[in-house]
A and B are shown apart, each in its own frame.
Chain A
Amino acid sequence: MLGDAVAAALALDGWQVDRANDAAAARGALVDHAYTAVLLDLGLPQGSGLDVLTALRARYDTTPVLIVTARDQLSDRIRGLDAGADDYLVKPFPFDELCARLRAVLRRSQGRVAPILRHGEIVLDPARRAVTRAGAPVRLSVHEYRTLLALMESRGRVVGRDHLEDRVYGGSGTIESNTIAVYVHQLRRKLGEQLIVTVHGYGYRLAGDA
Chain B
Amino acid sequence: MHLMRSLRARLLAVLMATVLLAWAIWLACQYVQTTHLQSDQNDRMVRGVAEHILLSLPDDIDTIRPQGHLQLPPDATLLPETKFDKIVFQVWVLDRRESVVASTGAPATPLRADFAVGHADAQVDGRPWRTYAVTDATGQVQVQAGVTHAHLHAELWRWIGASLKTALLVLAALAAALWLVVGWSLRPVTRLRGAIAERHALDLAPLPVAELPDEIRPLVDSFNQLLGRLDKAVHAERAFLAEAAHELRTPLAALLTQTQVALHSPDPQAALERLRDGIERLGRLAQQLLDSARIDADRRREEHGPLELAEIVALVVREFEATAARRHQTIGVTADAALGVAGNIDDLGILVRNLVDNAVRYAGSGGRIEVACRGDSGSGTVVLEVRDDGPGVPAEERERVFERFFRGSNGNGERGSGIGLSLVARIARSHGATVRTGTGIGGRGFAVEVIFPGLVE
* A and B: interacting chains: yes
Chain A residue at smallest Cβ distance from B294? A73
Q: Collect the chain A residues with CB atoms within 8 Å of residue B350's CB.
A: 74
B324 touches A185 (CB 8 A): no
Q: Collect the chain B residues with CB atoms within 8 Å of residue A189's CB.
A: 338
Does any Cβ of B come within 8 Å of A21's Cβ? no
**If A94-B322, A189-B338 touch, does A178 touch B333 (CB 8 Å cutoff)?**
yes
Bound-state Cα–Cα, A171 to B294, Å: 30
B276 touches A94 (CB 8 A): yes
Name the interface residues of A35-90: CB closer than 8 Å to any CB of B: 72-75, 77-78, 90
Q: Collect the chain A residues with CB atoms within 8 Å of residue B321's CB.
A: 171-172, 174-175
B318 touches A182 (CB 8 A): no
Does any Cβ of A come within 8 Å of B221's Cβ? no
A182 touches B330 (CB 8 A): no
B334 touches A177 (CB 8 A): yes
> What is the CB-to-nearest-CB distance from B155 to chain A, in angstroms, rounded to a whole number?
84
Bound-state Cα–Cα, A74 to B287, Å: 13
Bound-state Cα–Cα, A142 to B311, Å: 9
Does any Cβ of B come within 8 Å of A179's Cβ? yes
Q: Collect the chain B residues with CB atoms within 8 Å of residue A176's CB.
A: 330-333
Does any Cβ of A come within 8 Å of B325's Cβ? yes
Does any Cβ of A come within 8 Å of B107's Cβ? no
A74 touches B333 (CB 8 A): no
Bound-state Cα–Cα, A73 to B287, Å: 10
A141 touches B338 (CB 8 A): no
B338 touches A177 (CB 8 A): no
**If A74-B315, A78-B315, A143-B311 touch, does A178 touch B335 (CB 8 Å cutoff)?**
yes
Does any Cβ of A come within 8 Å of B283's Cβ? yes
On chain B, the number of residues with a Cβ less than 8 Å from chain A's Cβ atoms is: 38
A186 touches B338 (CB 8 A): yes
Chain B residue at smallest Cβ distance from A95? B276
Does any Cβ of A come within 8 Å of B418's Cβ? no
**If A74-B316, A77-B315, A143-B311 touch, does A174 touch B325 (CB 8 Å cutoff)?**
yes
A185 touches B338 (CB 8 A): yes
**If A72-B287, A73-B349, A172-B321 touch, does A178 touch B334 (CB 8 Å cutoff)?**
yes
Does any Cβ of A come within 8 Å of B314's Cβ? yes
Q: Collect the chain B residues with CB atoms within 8 Å of residue A143's CB.
A: 311, 314-315
A186 touches B308 (CB 8 A): yes
Bound-state Cα–Cα, A172 to B279, Å: 24
A177 touches B335 (CB 8 A): yes
Q: Collect the chain A residues with CB atoms within 8 Å of residue B324's CB.
A: 174-175
A182 touches B335 (CB 8 A): yes
Q: Out of B280, B294, B325, B335, which one reaches A179, CB within 8 Å?
A: B335
Bound-state Cα–Cα, A30 to B302, Å: 42
Q: Collect the chain B residues with CB atoms within 8 Å of residue A74's CB.
A: 312, 315-316, 345-346, 348-350
Bound-state Cα–Cα, A168 to B35, Å: 97
Bound-state Cα–Cα, A161 to B184, Å: 80
Does any Cβ of B come within 8 Å of A100's Cβ? yes
Does any Cβ of A come within 8 Å of B337's Cβ? yes
A141 touches B331 (CB 8 A): no
Q: Chain B binding site: helix, strand, loop or mixed by DSSP?
A: helix
> What is the CB-to-nearest-CB distance from B310 to chain A, in angstroms, rounded to a whole number?
5
Does any Cβ of A come within 8 Å of B148's Cβ? no
Q: Collect the chain A residues with CB atoms within 8 Å of residue B326's CB.
A: 96
Name the interface residues of B267-287: CB closer than 8 Å to any CB of A: 276, 279-280, 283, 287
> What is the CB-to-nearest-CB distance from B318 to chain A, in angstroms, rounded to a whole number?
6
Bound-state Cα–Cα, A21 to B326, Å: 33
Does any Cβ of B come within 8 Å of A97's Cβ? yes
Bound-state Cα–Cα, A90 to B346, Å: 14
> What is the CB-to-nearest-CB distance from A36 to chain B, in angstroms, rounded to a whole number?
21
Name the interface residues of A115-142: CB closer than 8 Å to any CB of B: 141-142
Q: Out of A77, A90, A100, which one reaches B322, CB within 8 Å?
A: A100
A141 touches B308 (CB 8 A): yes
Q: Collect the chain B residues with CB atoms within 8 Å of residue A177's CB.
A: 314, 317, 332-335
**If A141-B308, A176-B330 touch, does A96 touch B348 (CB 8 Å cutoff)?**
no
Does any Cβ of A come within 8 Å of B259's Cβ? no
Q: Collect the chain B residues with CB atoms within 8 Å of residue A90's CB.
A: 319
> What is the CB-to-nearest-CB distance from A11 to chain B, in angstroms, rounded to a whole number?
20
Chain B residue at smallest Cβ distance from A172? B325
Does any Cβ of B come within 8 Å of A181's Cβ? yes
A179 touches B314 (CB 8 A): yes
Name the interface residues of B297-355: CB closer than 8 Å to any CB of A: 308, 310-319, 321-322, 324-326, 329-338, 345-346, 348-350
Binding site for B on A (CB under 8 A): 72-75, 77-78, 90, 92, 94, 96-97, 100-101, 141-143, 169, 171-172, 174-179, 181-182, 185-186, 189
Listed by A's residue number, 25 A-B pairs whose Cβ atoms lie within 8 Å are: A72-B287, A73-B294, A73-B346, A74-B315, A74-B346, A74-B349, A77-B349, A78-B315, A90-B319, A94-B280, A96-B326, A97-B322, A100-B325, A172-B322, A172-B325, A175-B331, A176-B333, A177-B314, A178-B335, A179-B310, A182-B308, A182-B311, A182-B336, A182-B337, A182-B338
Q: Which 7 A-B pairs have the closest CB atoms?
A: A74-B349, A177-B333, A185-B337, A97-B322, A73-B346, A174-B325, A182-B310
15 additional A-B residue pairs with CB within 8 Å, beyond A101-B322, A174-B329: A72-B287, A73-B349, A75-B345, A75-B346, A78-B315, A100-B322, A143-B315, A172-B322, A174-B331, A176-B331, A176-B333, A177-B333, A177-B334, A178-B335, A185-B337
